[in-house]
Amino acid sequence: MSRVGMLPVTIPEGVTVDIADSVMTAKGKLGVLSLTFVDDVSTVIEDGKLIVKPANDSIKSKKMWGTFRTLASNLIVGVSDGFSRTLEVNGVGYRAQIQGKDLVLQLGYSHEIRYTAPEGITITCETQNEISIFGADKQVVGSVAAKIRSYRPPEPYKGKGVKYKDEVIIRKEGKKK
pLDDT digits (tens, 9 = 90+) for 76-97: 999 999 999 999 999 999 999 9
- Can you tell me the mean pLDDT for 114-141? 94
pLDDT of residue 148 exceeding 80, the answer is yes
The confidence band for 16, taking pLDDT boundaries of 50, 70 and 90, is very high
CB neighbourhood size of 70 (10 A): 17
**41, 1 contact by CB (below 8 A):** no
Q: Using alpha carbons only, what angle is made at residue 120 by residues 118 and 122, rounded to the nearest 5 degrees?
A: 80
In sequence order, the 6+-apart residues with CB closer than 8 A to the CB of 123 are 98, 103, 115, 117, 131, 132, 133, 134, 144
As to burial, measured by CB atoms within 10 angstroms (0-12 exposed, 13-18 middle, 19+ buried), residue 39 is: exposed
- Can you tell me the mean pLDDT for 159-170? 93
pLDDT of residue 1 exceeding 80, the answer is no
Domains of the chain (ranges; CATH) run 3-80 (3.90.930.12), 83-164 (3.90.930.12)
**148, 125 contact by CB (below 8 A):** no
- The whole model's pTM is what? 0.88
pLDDT of residue 4 exceeding 90, the answer is no
The confidence band for 176, taking pLDDT boundaries of 50, 70 and 90, is confident
Q: What's the pLDDT at 81?
A: 93
Q: How far apart are the first and last CA of the chain?
A: 58
Task: For the chain, give the mean pLDDT.
Answer: 92
For 113, the enclosing helix (H) or strand (E) is: strand 113-116
